[in-house]
Structure 1
Amino acid sequence: MQSEKKQHEAPQPFELSDTQLEMARKYDLTDKFVHFLDRHLVYPLIENLEFTHDPKEVEEWEYELLKDTYMTKFVEDKWLGLHPGEELPKEFADKQQKIQKELVSLNDSTKKTLEILSSQEVQENLKQDKSYNREYLSKKHGIDDAKIYELYKFGKFQYNRGDYVMASDLLNNFRLLSTNQELNFSATWGKLAAEIISFFWNEAMNEFNKLREIIDSRNYQGTTIDQLNKRTWLIHYSLFIFFNSNFTATDADSSEDSESEEKQEADKKKTLDERNKNLSSMIDLFLSSSYLSTIQASCPWILRYLIVALLQTRQYKRLRDIVRAVDVETYEYQDPFTKLIESLFVTFEFDNLSDLIEQISVLIETDFFISNLDAQKLVLNMQELIFNTVTKVYTGLTEENLCKMFNEDLPVVQKFLEERKDQVSVAEDGSIIVKTQTPSTVYQQVYEKTKAFNFKTNQILNTAFNKSDY
């Protein structure tokens, strides 16, 4: 990872009190993610801890994380930052010399192969058939298995050195020719990580789908435990993709004219739509039987991101599945998000909602992945879910009650209710009255459901009638 380039542009969070700092540290998941991510992907999570931990301590973690990589300039800068006024130990120069020697060697051994592969003649003669390509390159240009393997070694070397774009190209060329399934699998993991770090989200999604196809295959070569572990890794890698947008808006003109404002608004909406699409896909994937069982067995903390995705997309048709999963995992894992779902839909304990919202607000600002989202929109969706749930249980709800539940001042609650004046009204004493459906609306719903039921019944009868003719 290049020192001047951050993988994650973390937003500046609100000022945290001592209590909020303690809360953020308590529910931080970095120590859990470390076991299921490549160290290059762990780095931005460590870097994000600068908001909740002592910067000097974070710098020490960053150094320890990456000191064994080949990113010598980055590691040297970290060491000098931790030891101001001291000279670099000789071992750094020795390591740099060794890496440079290996770089020259790998560059020389792959240069001709890469030139051949990029030539117009070869490009015109290559086909979809990998066996044909290998035979053609071997006979015509002398590219054998050893030269193909050099591409893998060089790709791995460049990744370890922090040149992720070069690593991605090398690993891709290797996969196009290699028949070694184990190395191809490893190369795909490396290419996925390289695309994530380079912010190439469409390419990252393609690599993710390739890995998923291999891991989820019925003919998977490894053991069941190995398949479970690989799927757990894939889940953690995927969060980088799902919580980022594949659409990147171009920098809008700084002028205040209406055209610029309209473009900014359009770009913002497109980004939001793309992100919601990603998160909806994540919900569908993570709630599928194989992935949900993996989450429950290996990484129940992923439920946090499922709940956040649900709140962000308002895909409440999947709420029942998430409630069931949270209820099952209550004794294994809990955080403010899972407690919110448990309080609203399992125990119906609404007295602690205010504390939970305060805790969730802190995590929205400090969690590496969640901080990518629109915090204000996320909180508003959460308040709406709380309101819709609580009003189904309580009939004597007041503005004061809602202030406590939302952990908000009265003007905020009044604005919330005003925006829903077609659904609720407020009496003079502050009581909230939920408007019931009109009889015609209820009758229409009954009619539509009956109509659908009648259609299904006719289908069954017709099928039975047709079978009886044989």
Structure 2
Amino acid sequence: MAGLDLVPRMARYLDKHLIFPLLEHVQQQGIYAEEDILKAQFDLLQKTKLIDSAIEKYKAIHKTEDVPEALKNQRQDVVLQLKALKADCKQLLTVIEDPSLSKIKVEGESREKSAQAYREALVSLKEKHNIIPEHVEALYKYAKLYFECGNYGMVEGSDKMGAAEFLPIYRMLTADPNSENAFSALWGKLASEILLGKWEEAADDLRTLREAIDTKHWSNPLQQLEQRTWLVHWSLFVYFKPEASKLSNSRSEVIDLFFSPPYLQTIQTNCSHILRYLAAAVITNPRRRNALKDLVRIIQQEHHTYRDPITEFVECLLVNYDFDSAQEKLRQCEKLLASDYFLQGLSEEFIQNARLFIFETYCRIHQCIDISMLADKLNMGQEEAELWIVNLIRNARLDAKIDSEKHHVIMGSTKPSVYQQVCTKTKSLCFRSYVLAGNFTKQRSKYDREDDM
């Protein structure tokens, strides 16, 4: 499966700390040689401040307890840097640790009101303790070093603050909220929340960062394209990794994000391999069947730049109507889903919905269907297929019946009524109008700001 592994393609658009979970996954899957993975992990660790982890990997690679002096010296240097930066922003850290601030956060009536009250109290304490811009910038460097050392933020059972807590405070206090450091702080907080597994906060951070990227005035359009490419890749952690119970609407959100014109252009220009995840999101979301036509169009457009079993399954079934090839691709999809870091949790759901796609497509072009042949198309046993079809007809209320003697499924007329067609077209029109209005508002606000300048 090494040929279908996307880690080498995706790594260039991810923070180094976000690559570690992907390397651990391919290590568990046995996709690459163990020695190659250990070496890649060690090389990556050397580019961070995770010195203790680098020492452990060095021992595992060389099978020794002796550690080079260079690594020991790096550890001492990091400790000295932390102490120096903590001293530079000690006065501000005293303000941040003020008990009145934590009390405001706990007693807030809502997240918005609490955040506003916290901001006002923080600014008041900043003025009271004579905090100068140098202290604030030192906090940014301190938070950045914290992140590089793996201190991402508070964890359950601990009240020790980390990068995820310091970076938002920096953005509240910085004199220039549009500076490069302030913008980088958004990325740092998102990465911290992802690594801590705080998915709701990460989803909020992702929306904030998207708005910042879309509304910021870029001197070079290529910079904005690059930022959007990074956002597309980081969004995979937010929308595909958490359990469905925590982010129930994640699949719809990622479809909206990837189909929005700026990000769709980004995917087609820089990262066509993201079509794997867009296709998986559409297939596993029965409520978004209206996106199928656009998905098929894009997969066909990018056919020569990217293909994998998931995109080929869509083509075989919905373009070529080649059910035998679709069945073979579905078998390959099972292996791919099990090995993909982001999609492994969707394997069962994907297969069920893919079988439903095959069944519905087959039923649309046949009136009388042999159950044994359909079972073969669905890669199921005959009895299992018959029971599955019975439940499907009952739950979906399809106009069909089963002839038990001949083992046939007899389809009735399934043409949608005029009313249903009008409803479907209207829903699609409303969604496209909403997207168009949103883009117009963003562009108008952008030009208004330029006029004010």
Q: TM-score range by the shorter chain?
A: 0.7 to 0.9
* Greater RCO, CA 8 A, separation 6+: 1
Q: 1:324 maps to what in 2?
A: 297
Structure 2 residue aligned with 1:382, among 354, 369, 375?
354
Look up the match of 2:70.
Answer: 91
Q: Deviations over 1:10-57 (max 9, x none)?
A: xxxxxxxxxxxxxx2221111111011001001111111021333333
RMSD of aligned C-alpha atoms? 2.9
Q: Is the 8 A contact 2:317 2:361 kept in 1?
A: yes
Structure of larger gyration radius: 1
Distance 1:336 1:237 in 2: 23
Distance between the aligned counterparts of 2:236 and 2:308, measured in 1?
18
Q: 132-141 or 283-292, which moves further after superposition?
A: 132-141
| Equivalent-residue separation in structure 2 for 1:278 and 1:450 (angstroms) | 28
Q: Does 1:300 align with 2:272?
A: yes
Q: Which residue of 2 aligns with 1:102?
A: 81
CA separation of 1:353 and 1:67: change in aligned 2, threshold 3 A: same
Q: Is residue 2:182 matched to residue 1:205?
A: no
- Equivalence map 1:258-297=2 (5 Å): 272=244, 274-297=246-269
8 A contact 1:326–1:342 mirrored in 2:
yes
Structure 1 residues 452 and 107: CA distance shift in structure 2, 3 A: closer
Q: CA contact under 8 A between 2:272 and 2:305: conserved in structure 1?
A: yes
> CA shift at 1:303, angstroms?
1.2
Report how far residue 122 of structure 1 moved: 8.1
Counterparts in 2 of 1:290 and 1:139: CA distance versus 1, 3 Å: closer
Give the conservation status (yes or no) of the 8 Å contact 2:229–2:271: yes
Alignment partner of 1:351: what SS?
helix
328 and 115 in structure 1: CA distance in 2 versus 1, 3 angstrom threshold: same
3-state DSSP class of the match of 1:48? Answer: helix
Structure 2: unaligned runs, 5 residues or longer: 105-113, 154-161, 426-453
**Against the structure 1 CA distance between its residues 127 and 363, is the aligned structure 2 distance closer, same or farther, given a 3 Å change threshold?**
closer
Q: Residue 440 of structure 2 aligns with which residue?
A: none
Does structure 1 residue 38 correspond to structure 2 residue 15?
yes
Q: 2:370 pairs with 384, 389, 398, which one? A: 398
- 1:359-378 to 2 correspondences below 5 Å: 359-373=332-346, 375-378=347-350
Q: What amino acid does structure 2 have at the position aligned with 1:196?
A: I
* Partner Cα distance (1:114, 1:343) in 2: 60
Does residue 170 of structure 1 match 2:142? Answer: no
Check conservation: 2:323, 2:358, Cα contact below 8 A.
Answer: no
By how many angstroms is 1:400 displaced?
3.3
Distance 1:452 1:412 in 2: 33
| Corresponding residue for residue 425 of structure 1 | 401
Q: CA deviation at 1:273?
A: 5.4
Aligned residue number for residue 221 of structure 1: 218
Aligned equivalents of 1:244 and 1:60: distance in 2?
26
CA distance in 2, matches of 1:127, 1:417: 52
Q: Deviations over 1:136-177 (max 9, x none)?
A: 667642311111111010111011100000111221221111
1:135–1:370 Cα change, 3 Å: closer
Q: After superposition, give the CA deviation of every residue in 1:212-242 in whole Å (9 maximum; x if it has no partner).
A: 111111x523421111110010011011111
Give 3-state SS (helix, strand or coil) of 2:187's partner.
helix
Residue ranges of structure 1 left out of the alignment (5+ in a row): 1-23, 246-270, 454-470
Q: CA deviation at 1:435?
A: 3.1
Give the match's secondary structure for 1:163.
coil
Structure 1 CA distance for aligned equivalents of residues 421 and 226 of structure 2? 44
Which aligned runs of 4 or more in structure 1 are off by greater than 3 angstroms?
120-124, 126-140, 271-276, 394-397, 421-431, 445-453
C-alpha separation in 2, matches of 1:365 and 1:186? 34
- How far off is 1:205 after superposition? 1.5
Q: Is the 1:110–1:147 Cα contact (8 Å) retained in structure 2?
A: yes
Indicate conservation of the 8 Å contact 1:69/1:160, yes or no: yes
The answer to whether the 8 Å contact 1:188/1:207 transfers is yes
Distance in 1, Cα, partners of 2:84 & 2:49:
15
1:413 is matched with: 385
- Amino acid of the structure 1 residue aligned with 2:205: E
Q: Does 2:413 align with 1:436?
A: yes
TM, length-normalised to structure 2: 0.80
The answer for the alignment partner of 2:309 in structure 1 is 336
Determine if contact 1:127/1:133 at 8 Å carries over to the other structure. no
SS of match in other structure, 2:284: helix
CA gap of 1:276–1:356, structure 2 versus 1, over 3 A, is farther
Q: Distance in 2 between matches of 1:171 and 1:448?
A: 50
Q: TM-score, normalised by structure 1?
A: 0.78
Instruction: State yes or no: 1:160 paired with 2:148.
Output: yes
Residues 118 and 213 (structure 1), Cα distance of their counterparts in 2 relative to 1, 3 Å cut: same
Where does residue 447 of structure 2 map in the other structure?
none
User: 1-side partners of 2:115 and 2:5: how far apart?
Assistant: 49
Contact 1:130 1:176 in 2 (8 A): no
Q: CA distance change for structure 1 residues 421 and 139 in 2, over 3 Å: closer, same or farther?
A: closer
Shift of 1:335: 0.8
Instruction: Report if the CA contact (8 A) 1:353-1:406 is conserved.
Output: no
Post-superposition Cα deviations, 1:366-404, rounded to whole Å, max 9, x if no partner, equal 11011133x223211110011101221234532333233
Deviation of 1:449 (Å)? 6.5
Q: Provide the rounded CA distance (Å) in 2 between the counterparts of 1:451 and 1:307.
A: 24
Whether the 8 Å contact between 2:200 and 2:246 is mirrored in structure 1 is no
Q: Percent identity?
A: 28
User: Which residue pairs with 1:190 in the alignment?
Assistant: 188
Opposite residue 386 of structure 2, the aligned amino acid is: Q
For 1:232 and 1:401, the matched residues in 2 are separated by 44
Q: In structure 1, how many angstroms separate the alpha carbons of the residues matched to 2:407 and 2:299? A: 34
Q: Report the equivalent of 1:238.
A: 235
